[in-house]
Chains A and B, each alone.
Chain A
Amino acid sequence: MIRVLGLAVTLAAAGCASQAPPASREPAPAPTPAPPAAVIREARYDDYTRYELLAPDSAQFAIQFETVATKAGDAYYFNPIRKGSEASGERVFDMTSGRPLPFEVVTGAVAKDSGLSDADLDTSYIRVALPRPVPEGGQIRLFIEKTYRDPKSYFREGDLIVFARSLGVRRNAVVLPQGFELVACNVPSQVVSEADGRIRVSFMNTAPDAVSLVVKARRLNP
């Protein structure tokens, strides 16, 4: 229970950052294309993604993804790795217990064979071994961390940094690097300041399609 509370407090205070040790991981898979918008399912408002933009020239951003497995009896949960993004630093946690969960990166074919019937054969997946089967009418909440490097999503434009990405998850937040101000955001978003002064942009997408988010920021002390 202490571990659960610890994780909850950490998530609330640090925007889902977890201090738990990393789970085993395999080499990052080859980049694969983004899933089509049609993959978006209804009523997936449980999912929440936080993107923390890392050093501007790194093209990297840390992702913290809260999600749920809801299909009764499932033993695995599959999280696609977007084509064009190089993934690293994956970790997965059971949000109920706070414990890390075992996972592996698998091909689309393996994902399909192990239960993801609509797996894209050209996409790689983080296959998470669930700590228990999903109960009928219930859910298992998961917390997935990973870092993506994607120069097409996160890049410089003159004196600005740009985060431009199609996001299918309904609830999202983007945290600017330290010392940057927000100068553009094309999706109606709340703006809040983190405790450390970083600016967080947060929005909910209620439309049926993925949102093409563009966030631009500029260093405050050029």
Chain B
Amino acid sequence: MRRLLCAAASLLAAAGLPAQDPFAARLAERARQTREIVYFLQQPETHAFDLYHDYTESREGTDKYVNVVRRGSTVTRPEARVLETGAALPADILLGDAIRRANIDIGEEVLPDSEAVVIRFPPVQAGETLRLRISETYTDPGSYRLEGEELVFDRNFGRPRNAVVLPAGWYLTASSIPATVSQLPDGRIRLDFVNPRPDSIDVLIKAKRRPR
């Protein structure tokens, strides 16, 4: 929740809204938010999924992006780049005390197993913005698993726009949240979720292997 509030506060700041307004988080303009996450599910036995997260940083002076890893998830291979230039940005995984030593505010108490990905970039100058893409691989048996012969992806999405790409060789059998569905050139199925409301959605996706 604290992380959510921090994110909301950031958005409000970016939108120029007063952060002291107790209703500010709920009244932030959802359509103006710039965040989008695309998940690429690996084979379910691995419990792993790649993702990329795009967002626009517009707060003057901001020089880093901190992604706090959800409990139950582990992160590997963080990468980041500026979408307008292609320039790569340094990405570090910090654990527990390292977060505290780096004086990183993760919006919650830093515990020994706290994990955060920190992306550093030159401070945003007045009147400028930065469009970032952060790529990571998550492993989370709680969110992504095989149940019998069925793939299950069960995850809460807070961003307005999210997409999930099924692994190769799987077809969609269920989606709890309305999504548009499309097929990538390589045959994988993609679901796109747009949530215009200022809340999160509990996405539950099921899929089965295509017969060979």
Q: Does chain B have a CB within 8 A of A221?
A: yes
Contacts of B174 in A (CB 8 A): 191-193
Q: Does chain A have a CB within 8 A of B176?
A: yes
Q: Does chain B have a CB within 8 A of A117?
A: no
Task: Report the separation of the CA atoms of residues A124 and B183 in the bound assembly, to the nearest whole angstrom.
Answer: 39
Q: Which of A186, A189, A191, A204 has the most chain B CB atoms closer than 10 A to its own CB? A: A191
Task: Report the separation of the CA atoms of residues A184 and B210 in the bound assembly, to the nearest whole angstrom.
Answer: 16
B211 touches A191 (CB 8 A): no
Q: Does chain A have a CB within 8 A of B181?
A: yes
Q: Which of A182, A190, A220 contacts B177 (CB 8 A)?
A: A190
- Give residues 1-20 of B contacting A (CB, 8 Å): none
Contacts of B189 in A (CB 8 A): 182-183
B178 touches A189 (CB 8 A): yes
Give 1 or 0 for each of A164-184: 1 = CB within 8 Å of chain B CB. Answer: 000000000000000001111
Residue in A closest to B210 when the chains form the complex, CB atoms? A220
Task: Report the separation of the CA atoms of residues A187 and B182 in the bound assembly, to the nearest whole angstrom.
Answer: 11
B180 touches A188 (CB 8 A): yes
Task: Report the separation of the CA atoms of residues A187 and B189 in the bound assembly, to the nearest whole angstrom.
Answer: 15
Q: Does chain B have a CB within 8 A of A199?
A: yes
Give the total number of A-B pairs whose CB atoms are below 8 A apart: 53
Task: Report the separation of the CA atoms of residues A187 and B179 in the bound assembly, to the nearest whole angstrom.
Answer: 7
Q: Does chain B have a CB within 8 A of A45?
A: no
Q: Which of B173, B182, B194, B211 contacts A184 (CB 8 A)?
A: B182
The A interface is mostly helix, strand or loop, or mixed, namely strand
Q: Which of A183, A188, A189 contacts B194 (CB 8 A)?
A: A188
Contacts of B173 in A (CB 8 A): 191, 193, 199
- Give residues 160-197 of B contacting A (CB, 8 Å): 171-183, 189, 192-194
B178 touches A188 (CB 8 A): yes
User: How far, in Å, is A103 (CB) from chain B's closest CB?
Assistant: 34
Give 1 or 0 for each of B42-82: 1 = CB within 8 Å of chain A CB. Answer: 00000000000000000000000000000000000000000
Contacts of B178 in A (CB 8 A): 188-190, 203-204
Contacts of A187 in B (CB 8 A): 180
Q: Does chain B have a CB within 8 A of A185?
A: yes
Contacts of A184 in B (CB 8 A): 181-183
Residue in A closest to B170 when the chains form the complex, CB atoms? A181
Task: Report the separation of the CA atoms of residues A176 and B210 in the bound assembly, to the nearest whole angstrom.
Answer: 16
Task: Report the separation of the CA atoms of residues A160 and B181 in the bound assembly, to the nearest whole angstrom.
Answer: 14
A182 touches B171 (CB 8 A): yes
Task: Report the separation of the CA atoms of residues A187 and B180 in the bound assembly, to the nearest whole angstrom.
Answer: 5
Residue in B closest to A193 when the chains form the complex, CB atoms? B173
Contacts of A191 in B (CB 8 A): 172-175, 179, 181
Q: Which A residues contact B (CB, under 8 angstroms)?
A: 181-193, 199, 203-204, 216, 220-221
Besides A189-B181, A220-B211, 11 more A-B contacts (Cβ < 8 Å) are A181-B171, A181-B172, A181-B210, A182-B171, A182-B181, A188-B180, A188-B192, A189-B179, A192-B174, A193-B206, A204-B178
